[in-house]
Structure 1
Amino acid sequence: MGRTGRIRRRALLTGAAAGLAAGCAAPAGRPGARPREEEPPELRVRRGASATGRELLARYDAVLAAHPSLAARVGPLRDAAAAHVSALSPAGPGTSPSPSAPPTAAKAPSPAPPVAAEPGAALAELAAHARRSADAQTRALVEAPGELARLLASVAAANAAQAYLLTSGSRA
């Protein structure tokens, strides 16, 4: 094949080198810029779990505001929910409402959710929301990497325990 074989090989190598160089270059129009990457799964899971936790925390705050007589029973559960929000925060622990903050100091993402006028009904609604939060955290486990999955499992278990404590006759 003589000369034509060498030309083809040389053309192939030149084309491959050009392709590699083009693949390593910055996107057109933005020197040094990187292609837009998808949000990391851990951050996406943390955002969702944190939002779920903030919703539950807002429910606790609304119940405590509407029924101050439930503070001894609901207050410690609210503090645990605040600690979960802090632990799940996308920015890292310690960046969300503190567990010791009074209910009025925590900022709800939206207006306070409606609360039943009867304390027992308010506790039942709060328990139902804690169960839904536990379910949401459990569903998020599928996408979560190792340490975050363990944290989510713990938070889901705690939310399920809170639902039980809110509906049981015993004091929390």
Structure 2
Amino acid sequence: MERTGTTRRRALMATGAAAAAALTGCSPDGRQDRPTAPSAADKAAAVLRRRSTAASRALLAEYDAALGTHPGLSGRLTPLRTAVAAHVTALSAGPPPTATGTPAPAADPAPSASPGGTSVPVADVPSVLRALAAAERRTSDAHTAALVGVGADAEYARLLASVAAAGAAHAYLLTEGARS
């Protein structure tokens, strides 16, 4: 007796062939599936992410320098520094922000030794607070300006706006908030 139509053996063979094609990366028409090159929008978004992360990292270095030269300000500056470290982490999350494909290291939430070359003076406490407030404003302005440019998807634009607003609040707390 000869069977016609689909048998269990033929169904298993067809399923096996489809699985083998999927595992080898072939498309149904026999061509190899290749990853596509990043689009111009993807490249612009990666550049924006790198720039905004770098701006916040520089601000973090300003806090480290201030805490390194004025450890007595730790109670006042550590909460702000911790928030800036969280901003660095949030801004750098997502697609790899470096050209080599390796993610940028996350910010350390604990204060570290003072790096050289920052603009925070080794002067009196009011001067240090004014310099940090100015650095917060510069960083906030940079994040706000990035919103006008191209390359930010809606979610990243909201994140940049939030970080910019937090920077403005930090600047207030460093200067005007101290007078209250």
TM-score (norm 2): 0.66
**What is the CA-CA distance between 1:42 and the residue it aligns to?**
1.6
Return the match for 1:157 from 137, 147, 165.
165
**What is the CA-CA distance between 1:37 and the residue it aligns to?**
5.8
Distance 1:158 1:122 in 2: 19
What do the CA deviations read for 1:84-126 (whole angstroms, capped 9, x no partner)?
0011115389941133x2333x9x6xx3414321011010011
On the 8 A contact 1:66/1:115 being kept in 2, the answer is no
Which residue matches 1:91?
96
| Superposition pairs of residues 109-128 of structure 1, within 5 angstroms | 111-116=116-121, 117-128=123-134
Distance 1:145 1:98 in 2: 27
| Superposition pairs of residues 2-21 of structure 1, within 5 angstroms | none
Which residue matches 1:129?
135
Q: What is the root-mean-square deviation of aligned Cα atoms in Å? A: 2.8
Distance 2:177 2:87 in 1: 25
**What is the CA-CA distance between 1:145 and the residue it aligns to?**
1.3
| Superposition pairs of residues 15-164 of structure 1, within 5 angstroms | 38=40, 40-89=43-92, 91=96, 95-99=105-109, 101-104=110-113, 111-116=116-121, 117-142=123-148, 143=150, 144-164=152-172
**What is the CA-CA distance between 1:43 and the residue it aligns to?**
1.0
Equivalent position amino acid for 1:153 in 2: A
Equivalent position amino acid for 1:119 in 2: V
Which residue matches 2:12?
none
Distance 2:37 2:157 in 1: 29
What do the CA deviations read for 1:119-159 (whole angstroms, capped 9, x no partner)?
11010011001001000000111221100000000000000
Distance 1:169 1:122 in 2: 15
Distance 1:45 1:112 in 2: 24
C-alpha distance 36-170 of structure 1, shift in aligned 2 (>3 A): closer
TM-score (norm 1): 0.69
Equivalent position amino acid for 2:176 in 1: S
SS in 2 for 1:40: helix
Unaligned runs of 5+ in 2: 1-33, 98-102
Distance 2:66 2:75 in 1: 12
